[in-house]
Amino acid sequence: TQLLEQSPQFLSIQEGENLTVYCNSSSVFSSLQWYRQEPGEGPVLLVTVVTGGEVKKLKRLTFQFGDARKDSSLHITAAQPGDTGLYLCAGDPAGNKLTFGGGTRVLVKP
Amino acid sequence: EAGVAQSPRYKIIEKRQSVAFWCNPISGHATLYWYQQILGQGPKLLIQFQNNGVVDDSQLPKDRFSAERLKGVDSTLKIQPAKLEDSAVYLCASSLGASISGANVLTFGAGSRLTVL
């Protein structure tokens, strides 16, 4: 069982549609991070959420941290082919050790 | 600033052979990480260095994997002997330390893809 469970594992949508990716845990995190990874590249940090209930926006991406700081979601509005990639959530529940979820692979078709 | 450099980008070996990967972190980043990412999964931490000391190697298969970070800068990860299940991308990352928010922000290299036949 992974510390961070992501769902769905795979999402295929048409350009212009909306999508939501979830990251859940039974543990409390002081912060959660979201990364995007493209084929052949390393993960790139998108955002860090720190406060329970916090909402952060990055252009068409909206990130939310659960009130209890155990879960987070990523919502993409009007997805574009450039949003295609592997979305990873990561957290550090105890000390200085970042743990990743299994990832959600998103495919946006033109 | 220059990113995290890794080499080689690709390596194909037969089982029981050995392989080494090299990582050069961002200048000034004291913390260096090696992650293993198996196809279709999220990265799994193998080892974490703070300068040239090991902070966490609890998930490193020490019977076949070794890593060092001499002089607290570059690092090498070695696998000897390799098994089929070691086929994965090996990602190196570095960080300056906790940000203002308290979160540790990692910068990753492009990874080294290993195929064991």
Beta bridge partners of A34: A47, A89
**A104 pLDDT above the threshold of 80:** yes
- Tell me which CATH code domain A5-93+104-108 carries: 2.60.40.10
CB contact under 8 Å between B55 and A48, yes or no, is no
Domain ranges within chain B, ordered by starting residue:
5-96
Which homologous superfamily does the CATH classification assign to the domain defined by B5-96? Answer: Immunoglobulins (2.60.40.10)
B42 burial (CB, 10 Å; 0-12 / 13-18 / 19+) is buried
pLDDT tens for B20-71 read 999 999 998 999 999 999 998 999 999 999 988 998 999 999 999 999 998 8
CB contact under 8 Å between A98 and B104, yes or no, is yes
- Which positions in chain A touch B105 (Cβ < 8 Å)? 33, 45, 48
pLDDT tens for B77-101 read 999 999 999 999 999 999 986 655 5
A100 in contact with chain B, both atoms CB, cutoff 8 A: yes
